[in-house]
Amino acid sequence: MRPKTEALIVIDVQNDFCPGGALAVAGGDEIIPRVNALMGDFAAKVLTQDWHPADHASFAANHPGAAPFSLIDMPYGPQVLWPSHCIQGTHGAAFHKDLSTDPADLVIRKGFRAAIDSYSAFFENDHKTPTGLEGYLRTRGVADLTLVGLATDFCVAYSAIDAAKLGFTVTVLEGACRAIDLDGSLAAARDKMRAAGVRLGA
Ligand code: VGL
Ligand code: ZN
């Protein structure tokens, strides 16, 4: 068992990010046995859940004429328009059936505000509006984070970079992550994580 100052953060292991889902990440379900095993090593375990209303601004379907995976400008910066995914209460938004959810101490939902996307477990995409996760971890005395889940180049990377900026020590175990890799987004995310001081492990 790892020391009590360490937490495992499991990002978005949901049906829509697994094969057959609305925004399927190749091999997304392959990470589940390893993630389940890791949960046994950590005292503090947090799951995140992407949780959008159907009218969410990140969905291409809510921008007439816009193609999925195109970019638009939002007040907070450029935003990829995604296929509709992880709609609150749907099967796609549920955790994959093989993920052990019972050991988790906290499930934090994100992306529930229609006008703003939220990749990071810590802040909305405006980089200002907090989710509350920082306070939860600090009040539990957690200082060191291990991140795993989906997708490496979006929600995992954004969460890792925000956590490093907040002063946590952060390790991303890439073997327990899978990427969307849209137009070089994986290489860019790895560079940005390294620049932010995130340790990339296997
Ligand atoms: C994610 C795109 C949109 C993710 C969530 O979990 O990485 N990516 N919503
Ligand atoms: Zn999303």
Two tokens, residue 88 = 């609150």
Q: Where does ligand 1 bind, in terms of residues with CB under 6 Å?
A: 12, 17, 50, 82, 119, 150-151, 154-155
pTM above 0.95, yes or no: yes
pLDDT for residue 88: 98
> In what order do the strands lie in the sheet containing 199-201?
106-110, 44-50, 6-11, 144-150, 169-178, 199-201
Q: Are 96 and 15 in contact (CB under 8 A)?
A: yes
Give me ligand 2 centre to Cα 12, in Å.
9
Closest protein CA for atom 4 of ligand 1? 155
Distance 179 CA to ligand 1 centre (A): 10
Q: How far is the CA of 195 from the centre of ligand 2 (A)?
A: 25
Residue range 58-84: mean pLDDT, rounded:
96
Average pLDDT over every residue of 12-27:
98
Q: What is the pLDDT of residue 124?
A: 95
Q: Around ion ligand 2, which residues have CB less than 5 A away? A: 50, 111
Closest-approaching ligand to the CA atom of 147: 1
At 75 the pLDDT is: 94
Task: Looking at the CA of 86, name the nearest ligand.
Answer: 2
Both tokens of 183, joined, read 């137009």
| Beta carbons of 90 and 8 less than 8 angstroms apart | no
Q: How far is the CA of 98 from the centre of ligand 1 (A)?
A: 20
Read off the pLDDT band of 43 (50, 70, 90).
very high
Which regions of 12-89 does DSSP assign to beta strands (E)? 44-50, 71-74, 77-80
Confidence of residue 91 (pLDDT cuts 50, 70, 90): very high
Report CA-CA distances (Å) from 111 to 6, 25, 26, 60, 115: 26, 18, 22, 15, 9
Instruction: Summarize pLDDT for 98-114 with one digit per residue, the tens.
Output: 999 999 999 999 999 99
**Beta carbons within 10 angstroms of residue 97's beta carbon:** 10
For the segment 124-179, what is each residue's pLDDT rounded down to a tens digit? 999 999 999 999 999 999 999 999 999 999 999 999 999 999 999 999 999 999 99
Question: Which pLDDT score, from 0 to 100, does residue 86 have?
Answer: 98
pLDDT of residue 32: 99
Q: What is the mean pLDDT of residues 13-39?
A: 98
The ligand whose atoms approach the alpha carbon of 17 most closely is 1
